[in-house]
Amino acid sequence: MQDKQERLALWQKGLDKAKARFPERKDKFETSSEIPLQTVYTALDRPEADDFALPGEFPFTRGVQRNMYRGRLWTMRQYAGFASAQESNERYKYLLSQGQTGLSVAFDLPTQIGLDSDHPLSEGEVGKVGVAIDSLADMEILFSDIPLDKVSTSMTINAPAIVLLAMYLAVAEKQGVDWAKLKGTIQNDILKEYVARGTYIFPPEPSLKIITDIFAFCAEKVPNWNTISISGYHIREAGATAVQEVAFTLADAICYVETAVAAGLQVDDFAPRLSFFFNAHSNLFEEVAKFRAARKLWAEIMSKRFGAKAPKSLLLRFHTQTAGSTLTAQQPDNNVVRVALQALSAVLGGTQSLHTNSRDEAMALPSEDSVRIALRTQQIIAHETGAADVVDPLGGSYYIENLTAQIEDRVKEMLAKIDELGGAVAAINSGFIQRQIQDSAYKYQLDVETKDQIIVGVNQFTVEDESQPELLRVDPAVGIEQQQRLTELKGQRNAQAVEQTLATVRQAAEKGDNLFPPVLDAVRAYASLGEICGVLREVYGEYQAKDLV
């Protein structure tokens, strides 16, 4: 050891001479989480604890499977949905024909907050940022001619997740597909909505009750469905650092597990179906280390804190999406390069599924050409780079191992602080998490404005005349047509059956019974999303955000 230290000391003297001759580019080098970076990392900096960690073994730092992508590639799941169910159905079929291996449904804003397309607040928003789904009739069109036992489907839906999942199960029934054969995920992560995204409906307590109802129902009836995707993605998009992304995501996950256990569920009955959703930003090495650290932390939390025994309960399985907040309207073709590098970090970090953003998403919903390039980016990484040929290819790097350990330590410190505050809900109610994210976002913006952070094409390397790609535009007539379909549905359905099933939903909510069976019956009767969520609004009330400024 002494010989190594002496060699490093001599090397440092040479480094000082080099710095005098070639001054460093900036005053300090650090990651987005303000982890200071050394000029070089050696065996002296490498943590010894994981020196012989192996993939597929506790604490899973190096991956959740022993052979990872050598056995099966990650699911290539492009996030898509716009305008009507029919148009989105056509986009899904196109993506599947181009080699996509899983579906990912984007819902429009009214759907995300439990409003029908004919609600006054929906005006101008129907079909704009995703597909409009008002009832089971729309869901039937959305998955027309797509066999649900042959694809894996992810649905980015939170507050009304119980209703959309019920619709999906009802479509499977109509296709004659056994629920046990269904594979996919609902996001169903309400806590991050209060701090980062804003598509909440109900207060935290009843929202957590609904989530637990979904856990219990699916554990028995839909065993291969991921009942939640605990999301750091939107936390990062709101301005959080890599460390904050992991810390706040795991804090939310701890809250969900605690709530389910308190409701009487056995941890090993539902924990294997918990999944996660992370962001892939542009600092390639920090992102790889972040994914590795998150896996280790979750395995230890489930084992030590919750006493989970089933091996699958310890696995942090996650979907990754490249960072929408890094995409620029200036020089949009540069976004293809950004996305490729971000996607590579997710693959090197061991993701289970991946969405690659399209080059034009800083300006509009992605065009078909842009979506194809984004999908081809994943396919090139998978088949041409060799990145999928070895498990954890950066494992053992002095730098990666050190960075993984530092992220782990900083996340633990933040989790301890959240525990002191009383857990995730208390930290949200106090504004602690929101202020942390706001402060990080403000610092980042200052760095961009002072050019301490270079954004190519934005604050450096700009051009005067830029060509813009052809953008996808959603026809405003979509909203009118969607409202007409809903009106026709309400005129054709059995009104008495709808009224009876909605009354049963109300009764279950008031008594505290599991909501899933009555919601499923209401969906089968073609009660609308807005009608079902309206009943729950009357029982639970609506969440009112606090002004923290």
What tens digit of pLDDT does each residue of 467-491 get?
777 777 777 888 899 999 999 999 9
Between the two ends of the chain, the Cα-to-Cα distance in Å is 53
The structure tokens listed for 528 are 């609308």
| Per-residue confidence (pLDDT) for residue 47, from 0 to 100 | 65
- For the segment 501-521, the average pLDDT, to the nearest whole number, is 98
Q: List, in sequence order, the alpha helices (H) in 58-160.
A: 85-97, 109-112, 136-142
In this predicted model, what pLDDT tens digit does every residue of 339-365 receive, in sequence order? 999 999 999 999 999 999 999 999 988
Q: What is the pLDDT of residue 44?
A: 84
Mean pLDDT of 154-168: 97
What tokens were used for 235? 């936390």
The whole-number average pLDDT for the span 189-204 is: 96
Q: Which tokens in the block code for residue 173?
A: 């029934």
Mean pLDDT of 395-416: 96
Contact between 362 and 85 under an 8 Å Cβ cutoff? The reply is no
Tell me the one-letter amino acid at 465: D
pLDDT at 399 exceeding the cut of 80: yes
Determine the average pLDDT of the residues in 170-187.
Answer: 97
pLDDT band at 72 (very low <50, low <70, confident <90, very high): very high
How many residues appear in the chain? 549
Look at residue 278 and give its three-state secondary structure: strand
Q: Is the pLDDT at 125 greater than 90, yes or no?
A: yes
Structure tokens belonging to residue 302: 């489930």
SS3 content of the chain, % helix, strand, coil (to 5): 55, 10, 40
Burial environment of residue 438 by CB neighbours within 10 A (0 to 12, 13 to 18, 19 or more): middle
Which residue has tokens 């029934």?
Answer: 173
Q: What pLDDT does 8 receive?
A: 85
Least confident interval from 1-10, 187-196, 222-231, 430-439: 1-10
For residue 473, the model assigns a pLDDT of: 79
State how far the Cα of 391 lies from the Cα of 377, in Å rounded to an integer.
20
> Average pLDDT of 510-525?
98
8 A C-beta contact, residue 366 and residue 327: no
Residues 6+ apart with CB under 8 A from 493: 525, 526
Close Cβ partners of 327 (under 8 Å, ≥ 6 residues apart)? 335, 338, 339, 357, 359, 361, 362
The HSE-up count of residue 36 (CA atoms within 13 Å, CB side) is: 3
- Domain spans in the chain, listed from the N-terminal domain onward: 68-73+148-449
Among 208, 210, 188, which residue's Cα sits nearest to residue 199? 188
DSSP 3-state of 309: coil
Averaged pLDDT, 6-19: 89
262 neighbors 21 (Cβ within 8 angstroms):
no
**Share above pLDDT 70 across residues of the chain, in percent, rounded to a whole number:** 98
Confidence band of 1 (pLDDT split at 50, 70, 90): low
Return mean pLDDT, the chain. 94
Q: What CATH code is assigned to 68-73+148-449?
A: 3.20.20.240
Of 412, 474, 462, which Cα lies nearest the Cα of 129?
Answer: 474
Three-state DSSP state, 102: strand
pLDDT of residue 202: 97
With vertex at residue 168, the alpha carbon angle to CA 505 and CA 205, rounded to the nearest 5 degrees, is: 45
Phi, psi of 158 (to 5 degrees): -125, -80
What's the CA gap between 309 and 119, in Å, rounded?
47
Q: Are strands 318-322 and 274-280 parallel, antiparallel or unpaired?
A: parallel
Query: For 375-386, what is each residue's pLDDT tens digit?
Result: 999 999 999 999
pLDDT-derived band at 298, boundaries 50, 70, 90:
very high
**Could you tell me the pTM of the whole model?**
0.93
Centre a 10 Å sphere on the Cβ of residue 289 and count the other Cβ atoms it contains: 29
CB contact at 8 A, 355 and 78: yes
